[in-house]
């Protein structure tokens, strides 16, 4: 858990640092070989962090810490159905969403900390059974998709940073204050 959170925070901080540095760099400024070397090392470390370390830390946390195995059917909730707030062995506040051994979290079936423990049915016409291992893989894919989105957004922003918004021409107005139409 610590490795995942640390790598995620490091990714967010380095992304913000990269954007802040790029905002203050003037457009069209030439780069020295030393700046290019340091920039290439930063980008290599950033890409390694965002595409290798963060998903690996997620998969290791799910496998060892959360124990999401392939024989656990359903979408794991963890402690989402029972929230405790406290420290040093004392509970200051707790919220139990599944009271009196109910098997539903609002309208969704829950059993042993898993949402849809028998699978997702479609009005009796079919069933999808998800296990915890496939949920772990779906989480890793979502991490990759978010990383690619940030990556592409950064590329587009860098390429378009020198473009300024063109001011629209004002059309002449009539005596009533309305814009005049062009003649066809």
Classify residue 181 by its DSSP letter. Answer: P
Residue 177 lies in a domain: no
pLDDT in tens, 91-122: 665 555 555 555 666 677 777 777 888 888 88
Give the total number of structural domains in the chain.
2
Task: Name the pLDDT band for 89 (thresholds 50, 70, 90).
Answer: low
**Is residue 22's pLDDT more than 60?**
yes
Residue 175 lies in a domain: no
Same domain for 136 and 64: yes
The pLDDT assigned to 117 comes to: 80
Query: Residue 33 and residue 24: Cα distance in Å, rounded?
Result: 19
Name 83's bridge partners: 95
Name the residue among 55, 79, 84 with its Cα closest to residue 66. 79
Same domain for 32 and 95: no
Residue 167 lies in a domain: no
**Is residue 175's pLDDT more than 60?**
yes
Residue 170 lies in a domain: no
* Domain range enclosing 87: 73-130
Task: Name the pLDDT band for 176 (thresholds 50, 70, 90).
Answer: confident
Percentage of residues of the chain with pLDDT beyond 90: 36
Same domain for 53 and 77: no
Higher pLDDT, 5 or 108: 5
Q: Per-residue pLDDT averaged across 34-58, rounded?
A: 94
Same domain for 58 and 23: yes
Same domain for 122 and 81: yes
Query: Residue 49 and residue 11: Cα distance in Å, rounded?
Result: 7
The pLDDT assigned to 149 comes to: 94
Query: Which among 130, 151, 178 is the end of a domain?
Result: 130
């Amino acid at each position: 858990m610590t490795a995942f959170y640390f790598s995620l925070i490091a990714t967010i901080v380095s992304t913000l640092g990269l954007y802040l540095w790029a905002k203050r760099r003037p457009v069209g400024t030439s780069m020295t070989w030393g700046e290019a070397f340091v920039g290439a090392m930063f980008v290599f470390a950033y890409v390694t962090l965002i595409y290798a370390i963060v998903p690996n830390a997620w998969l290791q946390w799910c496998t060892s810490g959360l124990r999401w195995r392939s024989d656990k059917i359903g979408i794991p909730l963890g402690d989402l159905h029972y929230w405790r707030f406290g420290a040093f062995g004392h509970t200051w506040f707790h919220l139990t969403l599944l009271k009196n051994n109910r098997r539903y979290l609002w309208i969704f079936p829950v059993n042993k900390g898993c949402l849809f423990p028998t699978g997702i049915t479609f009005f009796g016409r079919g069933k999808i059974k998800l296990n915890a291992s496939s949920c772990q893989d779906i989480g890793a894919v979502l991490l990759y998709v978010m990383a690619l989105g940030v990556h592409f957004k950064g590329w587009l922003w860098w390429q378009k940073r020198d473009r300024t918004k063109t001011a629209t021409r004002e059309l002449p107005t009539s005596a009533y204050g309305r814009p005049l139409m062009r003649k066809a």
